[in-house]
Chain A
Amino acid sequence: EPEVTQTPSHQVTQMGQEVILRCVPISNHLYFYWYRQILGQKVEFLVSFYNNEISEKSEIFDDQFSVERPDGSNFTLKIRSTKLEDSAMYFCASSGQILYNEQFFGPGTRLTVL
């Protein structure tokens, strides 16, 4: 069964450092998403991506964040200068349609900013 994969599973970084979180969406999906979950809080939308551009982003997704699909399989989230409050689980998701269709989530990357 196809699945979304994410690497690394856990990333520890120092405040102010850049991190890149990687995702491989399901191969025939066209819509890609990043979400995050801070410990004890609900899952929050960060950004959606379609046709090589951002289709929507949340208030959380400021200038420190960027996304890229550098090739036909990977989808990355970059945080340029991490802050303590960026510590969270980051989930990548993909779907075959934008509406009325489930999104499939990866296992997540736990980001710890020290």
Chain B
Amino acid sequence: DQQVKQNSPSLSVQEGRISILNCDYTNSMFDYFLWYKKYPAEGPTFLISISSIKDKNEDGRFTVFLNKSAKHLSLHIVPSQPGDSAVYFCASPHNAGGTSYGKLTFGQGTILTVHP
């Protein structure tokens, strides 16, 4: 029962180029999404979020796009840096029924590798 899905387990990008990480969700009632970055042996670190009243949110090199009709969001990192190499998770604070109690449902994660 994957309510939030990241279908690409890994992504490899050259330094300076754009990294695009994708995430799909199943329930159109989901209205808030977060991206977290995780290094090995560390906890997830919040990156950026987006509410369904927007279709784009930007913070420095990170931009998240939300396509509600496609139930799809993406995280763009421009320009990519070697220090961005980590696992990226999308998450939503909703359960399958669309009722939110604050718990986060995570995607499986995408391993981003940025080569110098």
Q: State the interface size on chain A (CB cutoff 8 A).
A: 28
Say whether A102 contacts B46, CB under 8 Å: yes
Interface size class of B (residues with CB under 8 A): 20 to 34
Q: Tell me, rounded to whole Å, the shortest Cβ–Cβ distance linking A58 to chain B.
A: 8
A31 to B101, CA, bound (A): 11
Are A42 and B108 also in contact (CB < 8 A) when A33-B103, A55-B101, A102-B49 are? yes
| B52 CB to nearest A CB, Å | 10
Interface check B102, CB cutoff 8 A: yes
CB–CB B42/A108 < 8 A: yes
Q: List 12 A-B contacts (CB under 8 A).
A: A31-B102, A42-B106, A42-B107, A48-B101, A55-B102, A56-B101, A56-B102, A91-B44, A93-B104, A99-B100, A107-B41, A108-B41
The chain B residues found within 8 Å of chain A, CB to CB, are 32, 34, 36, 41-46, 49, 51, 89, 91, 93, 100-109
